Amino acid sequence: MRVPLLVLALGALALAPAAEAGSNKVRHTNVVPPAWTATAPSTVGQITDLEVAGGVVYVAGTTGIAALSPAGEAKWTVALPAASFRNIAADDKGVAFTSYSLAGIDPSEGFRFFVLGKLGDAPTYVDATVGSVTLDGALAWSTPSDVQSPHSAPGLSPTSIAVMRGKDMVVVDRADGHVLAKPDIKMMGEDSKFFSGFYARGYRVQPVFWEGQFYSAFYNTVIQVNPDGSARETAFGPLFRPFYNVTCGLVPFGKGLTGGSTGDTQKGNAYYAFNGKFGMLYNEWSPDKQSGCGSVTVVGERAVYASNFSVWAINSKGKTVWKSENRKGGLYPASGRGIGYVHYLGFRKSYPDLMVADPASVYIATSNDGDVITVLEMNKGKYVRTIDVKAPIVAMGLTDAGLVVATDTDVRFSAR
């Protein structure tokens, strides 16, 4: 899975980095208590994901899905079979979810085992499911998966739902959940014990529907799929494209999609954008040599990327706008954010990005004797304040009213 150093050198020459911009050193020098306008206790078990769509805050947990108003008022809750992980996506047609559980281990050790287990370990997954809930809180359908593996958060088209799982994507009909197609990704050594553990922990990129097609990725391969599930094209990373262990994105940006990767001993950590034909719009090597990309969010003509120790803003032409770097813990990742490592292999700690932004500010989950939120100004990336949440941060979102923060037990609302 590695490539010759000569090829990497040629790739670096072909994709020269953009001009440097000013860099900020971030410290927790202004720690303030949060001004919560409302707190909604969880009605869905331990919270695992949060999505804001159409002015509604949707919350997924181990025992169900709930909808809240931007003021924290309960709209509905639908109970679902218990699962270790549940991820959601929502639009004006409904809410889709994926869920799965870890088997054969102490539930309290599940996440730690998944992230920090030995390289050859292959966790056992059960009860993998794809489902749909209506906008008024009724379970439309729920279909057991024929592949027991981690499942990405769903990607939504007007007519279908796409999910990355194992080493393939499943595309199902939004109306009733029947399988339309299962385009796969051929991986080197996929039947060996060594690689089974490697692939078992790999980050399944949430499919994104853009310009009439789904796009997703697994490790060093990006896949383009029609809404009916028929595969169109794949692009392999190690040669002249930086798709190598894709760990953040993909997000529509400018004339293409943007994301980031976590390299290894021969390939650097990178942030990039590409068009619908997989032509590179830009490729930037991360200033953080210690970790890959864990989060990316787009606001207008600016993409903001976060690694474990830096936040970097790039415009749609690939020009660096600003960089902010960790100093004495100012950007050190919160318990659920960032990239964890087994040997040299990097893995996303959680599916929610744990970084959100608007035209004025960037909010990123960090650590300061517990989970906090570091706020940077969007204009130049300068430090503003640290919000002391005093609870593990699971997911974050923005409504028109302000910031929404999910802990594992409740959802908290705060004005900007």
Least confident of 116-120, 393-397, 402-406: 116-120
114 pLDDT above the threshold of 50: no
Give residue 143's pLDDT band: very low, low, confident or very high (50, 70, 90): very high
Residue 9 pLDDT exceeds 90: no
pTM of the model: 0.89
Three-state SS letters, 28-41: CCCEECCCEEEEEE
State pLDDT tens for residues 324-358.
999 999 999 999 999 887 666 777 888 888 999 99
| Beta bridge pairs of residue 346 | 341
Query: Lowest-pLDDT range, 74-78, 147-151, 373-377, 380-384?
Result: 147-151
Cite the DSSP H helix spans in 76-181. 110-116
N-terminal to C-terminal alpha carbon distance within the chain: 45
For residue 2, pLDDT beyond 50? no
Query: Which DSSP state fits 109?
Result: G
| Spatial CA neighbour of 242 closest among 273, 276, 207 | 273
The CA distance from 127 to 180, in Å, is 21
pLDDT score at 131? 98
The chain-wide mean pLDDT, for the chain, equals 87
Decide the pairing of beta strands 31-32 and 383-388.
Answer: parallel
How high is the pLDDT of residue 5? 27
pLDDT at 349: 83
Question: In the predicted model, is pLDDT for residue 14 greater than 60?
Answer: no
**270-324 tens-digit pLDDT:** 999 999 999 999 999 888 888 999 999 999 999 999 999 999 999 998 999 999 9
User: Burial, 309: exposed, middle or buried (Cβ in 10 Å; 0-12, 13-18, 19+)?
Assistant: buried
Decide if 407 contacts 389 (C-beta within 8 A): yes
Residue 124 has a pLDDT of 78
Quote the distance between the C-alpha of residue 37 and its chain's center. 27
Average pLDDT over residues 215-226: 91
The CB density around residue 148, as the number of other CB atoms within 10 Å, is: 17
With 70 as the cut, is the pLDDT of residue 201 above it? no
Region 391-396: mean pLDDT is 96
Give the pLDDT band of residue 197 (cuts 50, 70, 90): low
What does the pLDDT read at residue 103? 78
Banded pLDDT at 196 (limits 50, 70, 90): low
Predicted local confidence at residue 12, as pLDDT: 34
- The per-type count for the chain, helices as H runs and strands as E runs, is 3, 36
The pLDDT of 145-163, averaged and rounded, is 95
Between residues 122 and 261, the one the model is more confident about: 261
Predicted local confidence at residue 106, as pLDDT: 54
